[in-house]
Amino acid sequence: MLGAPLTSARAALRVVAAVLLAGCVLRAAVPPAPAPLGAWRDGEARRRIVRFVEEVTTPGGADFVPPAERVAAFDLDGTLWVERPRYIAVEFELESIRARAEREPALRSVEPYRAVYWGDLRWLERLDPRKLFTLFINTHADVPEAAYVEEVRRFLASRRHARLGRPFRDLAYLPMVELIAYLEDHDFRVHIVTGGELGFARTVAEEIYGVPVENVVASAVRYRFRENAAGGEIIRGKLLLFNDEAGKPANIQLHVGRRPILAFGNSDGDVEMLEFAAGSAHPSLSLVLRHDDAEREYAYDDRTEEVRARARRRGWTVVSMRDDFATVFAPPGG
Amino acid sequence: MLGAPLTSARAALRVVAAVLLAGCVLRAAVPPAPAPLGAWRDGEARRRIVRFVEEVTTPGGADFVPPAERVAAFDLDGTLWVERPRYIAVEFELESIRARAEREPALRSVEPYRAVYWGDLRWLERLDPRKLFTLFINTHADVPEAAYVEEVRRFLASRRHARLGRPFRDLAYLPMVELIAYLEDHDFRVHIVTGGELGFARTVAEEIYGVPVENVVASAVRYRFRENAAGGEIIRGKLLLFNDEAGKPANIQLHVGRRPILAFGNSDGDVEMLEFAAGSAHPSLSLVLRHDDAEREYAYDDRTEEVRARARRRGWTVVSMRDDFATVFAPPGG
């Protein structure tokens, strides 16, 4: 009953927004900003970010936040890099599972190897996404973490995105890479907080964003330590922690123990993390990236209804990929 | 069968060690060392520490380790502060549970409130230690983390150790406080890795050792995030992760994702963590604190048989509280 009028109001707002945002003239009029954040256009979003960082880092200022408490939390998929047509981690899983079924024919009758190997997409799509994620991650159980990370590295460097034609590791949004560096230059501790899996996300964080592995909060398996003559090794177990929705603030508490003062997300899975930052006793900034650039990346709004409604209600900063990103990706080989 | 001769050999070694260590003359002959590490005597243990830190921090040296990989892991109870006659965290639990039973008489017939309130030590001691720990920690389930931490803070500041006569927060070993500062000055990231509970250990880490809360790896409850008009809050759940023995390297992997190059422990629960550091691809230092100072602290060897055997076999550095600590505690009010 409540849903209908709200939905129409939202639909109407969306039409208004679409009209407002449609002006190519408006976009062309905003030139790229100077460094830092040179891949951003000099619009309201960039101005809010710069103003916020200046406020919390000005010693003696009313809004000063000590460096130890300058925690920033970034979602990964769809916030720091491309998540379409599939999560890059899912591309990795499909390839890894297929390769394993190639090597071990006996697995071809065991799920999820069977479905992946024979391309039974209907079976895969019928599963609850969380259950599918668990099945995929658990295929690496009993594998040493070092071997798993090596497999992730090879995948990131060698495989390409079909439509965009770049290696997956080049799918990072340049404005976000700049923003992370800008925050770190101002003594923020930037964390990547993702629903994806920890070992995968750590590899991405370190190789692509220069975020240290200890600053990654993610869905995680139970690890175990196996002693051996070579100094022992860490072995992966089965999935233990989910890091999505309300799990994000909970796992930030578990891993970091501090409330972020800046959070950046793009989907409904980030709502609680954005609220967590917004509720800080310090000044805070919650940001939402909108995928509205079909030409340079993708344009889609699914799984964003709640986050966009909250952004309007709570005054969070919505970043438009089309209007706020002067450049989306670093030049090839850059 | 194997146990007997080994045990006698150990007993013999212990006698020899006792004779060697008995010499007060020897002890008096080793003066306190200059700063840094002025609360240490200038013996072999201190020399090994200083040499190791110089080696791994000398740019261009063969043993240089980049700052990002200078991870140090310290056990808490019995390594950084007094663990006798009971773990300080157990003192806290007993007091907290007793106070709760005072406020809520209905709980006085429910375990573990009943046993604690009526002083039924036999019931408590009959339980498996891990089960007792879980029961104690779970009494704080559904409590906001902020309220729990406030209770820990009050306890640390107000309660005293019966025999030593100092507030619990003054039971930190001064040489260890110095060592942590010394390592941090050399761009180590010092972590506290404890079997105790995370919220408690974080409070101790920050208030007493200046170790940031995000650098604590501990047994942990499942947290949840409860949204409310005041920005939401983190609520404690039941115990999820144990951090002892092989759990220590596993949880270091989960929280830090890097192998330590220095580890410091005192009991058999630290063996796997010490091995984890010893197995680093970098030069590493594994240290074991021996409680052999009945006069200034305590002298005991229980739960240390395995760690002392490994130390001998693997050449780990054994630190004698009696011989290597020039000062044990900071002067009162210091």
Write out the two tokens for A294: 């079909």
Asked if residues A291 and A321 have their Cβ atoms less than 8 Å apart, the reply is yes
Q: How many residue pairs from chains A and B have C-beta atoms closer than 8 A? A: 92
Distance CA B248, CA B271 (A): 9
Residues of chain B falling short of pLDDT 50: 1-28
Share the mean pLDDT of chain A.
Answer: 91
Least CB-CB distance to A213: which of B214, B234, B258? B258
B chain contacts of residue A255, beta-carbon cutoff 8 Å = 214, 255
Q: Residue B18: its pLDDT value, please?
A: 39
Chain-chain contact of B253 with A278 (C-beta, under 8 angstroms): no
How far, in Å, CA of A247 to CA of A256, rounded?
A: 13
DSSP H or E stretch at residue A297: none
Q: Closest chain B residue to A235 measured between Cα atoms?
A: B250
Beta pairing partners, B88? none
**Residue A216 with chain B: CB contacts under 8 Å:** 257
pLDDT confidence of residue A332: 81
| B246 contacts A224 by C-beta, under 8 angstroms | yes
Distance, CA of B321 to chain centre: 15
Quick check: A224 and B214 CB within 8 A? no
Identity of the residue in A216, A250, A257 whose CB atom sits nearest the CB atom of B224: A250
Separation in Å, CA of B234 to nearest CA in chain A:
7
Q: What was the pLDDT predicted at A35?
A: 82
Contact call for B222 and A246, based on CB within 8 A: no
Say whether B272 and A227 touch across the interface (CB within 8 A): yes
Classify the C-alpha dihedral B40-B66-A72-A154 as positive or negative: negative
Whether residue A258 and residue B214 make contact (CB cut-off 8 A), yes or no, is: yes
Q: Which residues of B touch A275 (CB under 8 A)?
A: 227, 231-232
Give the DSSP letter string of B142-168: TSBHHHHHHHHHHHHHH-B-TTT-SBG
Structure tokens at A63: 């809004």
Contact between chains at A257 and B214 (C-beta distance less than 8 A): yes
Dig out the tokens for A1 from the structure.
Answer: 């009953």
Helix (H) / strand (E) element for A37: namely none
Q: Which of B198, B253, B279 sits opposite A145 (nearest CB)?
A: B253
**A183 Cβ contact partners less than 8 Å away, ≥ 6 residues apart:** A53, A70, A72, A190, A262
Cα–Cα distance for residue pair A319/A274, rounded to 1 Å: 14
**Given the structure tokens 């007493």, which residue do they identify?**
B208
pLDDT given for residue A24 in this prediction? 36
Rounded Cα–Cα distance for residues A125 and A118 (Å): 14
Ramachandran region, residue A4 (left: φ > 0; alpha: ψ -120 to 50; beta: rest): alpha
A272·B212 Cβ contact <8 A: no
Query: What pLDDT, on a 0 to 100 scale, did the predictor assign at position B35?
Result: 82
Total-model pTM: 0.90
Residue of chain B whose alpha carbon sits nearest to that of A279: B231
Q: How many CB atoms sit inside 10 A of residue A68's CB?
A: 13
Q: Does A278 sit within 8 Å of B231, measured CB to CB?
A: yes
B300 Cβ contact list (under 8 Å, min separation 6): B84, B291
**pLDDT by residue, tens only, chain A of 334 residues:** 233 333 343 344 333 333 333 333 344 456 778 788 999 999 999 999 999 999 999 999 999 999 999 999 999 999 999 999 999 999 999 999 999 999 999 999 999 999 999 999 899 999 999 999 999 999 999 999 999 999 999 999 999 999 999 999 999 999 999 999 999 999 999 999 999 999 999 999 999 999 999 999 999 999 999 999 988 999 999 999 999 999 999 999 999 999 999 999 999 999 999 999 999 999 999 999 999 999 999 999 999 999 999 999 999 999 999 999 999 999 986 5
Q: In chain B, helix, strand, coil percent, each to 5?
A: 50, 20, 35
A231, B145: Cβ pair inside 8 Å? no
Interface of chain B toward chain A, CB-CB under 8 angstroms: 68, 145, 189, 198, 202, 212-214, 216, 220, 222-225, 227, 230-232, 234, 246, 248-251, 253-258, 272, 275-276, 278-280
Q: Which of A213, A231, A246 is opposite residue B225, by nearest beta carbon?
A: A246
Please give the Cα distance from B53 to B50 (Å, whole number).
Answer: 5
The alpha-carbon gap from B130 to the nearest alpha carbon of chain A, in Å, equals 18
User: Which of B152, B223, B268 is the mutation pick for testing A, counting most A CBs within 10 A?
Assistant: B223
DSSP B261-315: SEEEE-SGGGHHHHHHHHT-SS--EEEEEE-B-TTTS-B--TT-HHHHHHHHHHT
Cα–Cα nearest to B324, from B301, B306, B300, B297:
B297
Nearest-by-CA chain A residue for B233: A276
- Between helices A145-158 and A88-103, what is the axis angle to 10°? 110
Cβ contact B253–A216 (<8 Å) = no
Task: Read off the pLDDT of residues B35-65 as tens digits, 9 standing for 90 and up.
Answer: 889 999 999 999 999 999 999 999 999 999 9
Q: Do B279 and A198 touch (CB under 8 A)?
A: no
Q: What is d(CA B106, CA B116) in angstroms, rounded to the nearest whole number?
A: 14
CA distance A325 to chain B (A): 30
Of A198, A225, A254, Cβ closest to residue B250: A225
Ordered DSSP codes for B60-84 = T-TT---GGG-EEEE--BTTTB---
* Cross-chain Cβ contact B279/A232 below 8 Å: yes
The tokens describing A98, both together, are 């297929």
Closest CA to B136 of B201, B196, B78: B196
Close Cβ partners of A332 (under 8 Å, ≥ 6 residues apart): A166, A170
Tokens linked to B292: 């052999």
Interchain CB distance below 8 Å, B231 and A272: no
Element (H, E) at B333: none
Interface of A with B (CB under 8 A): 68, 145, 189, 198, 202, 212-214, 216, 220, 222-225, 227, 230-232, 234, 246, 248-251, 253-258, 272, 275-276, 278-280
Q: What are residue B284's DSSP bridge partners?
A: none
CB-CB: which of A224, A253, A276 is closest to B250? A224
ipTM, 2 decimals?
A: 0.90
**Interchain CB distance below 8 Å, B227 and A272:** yes
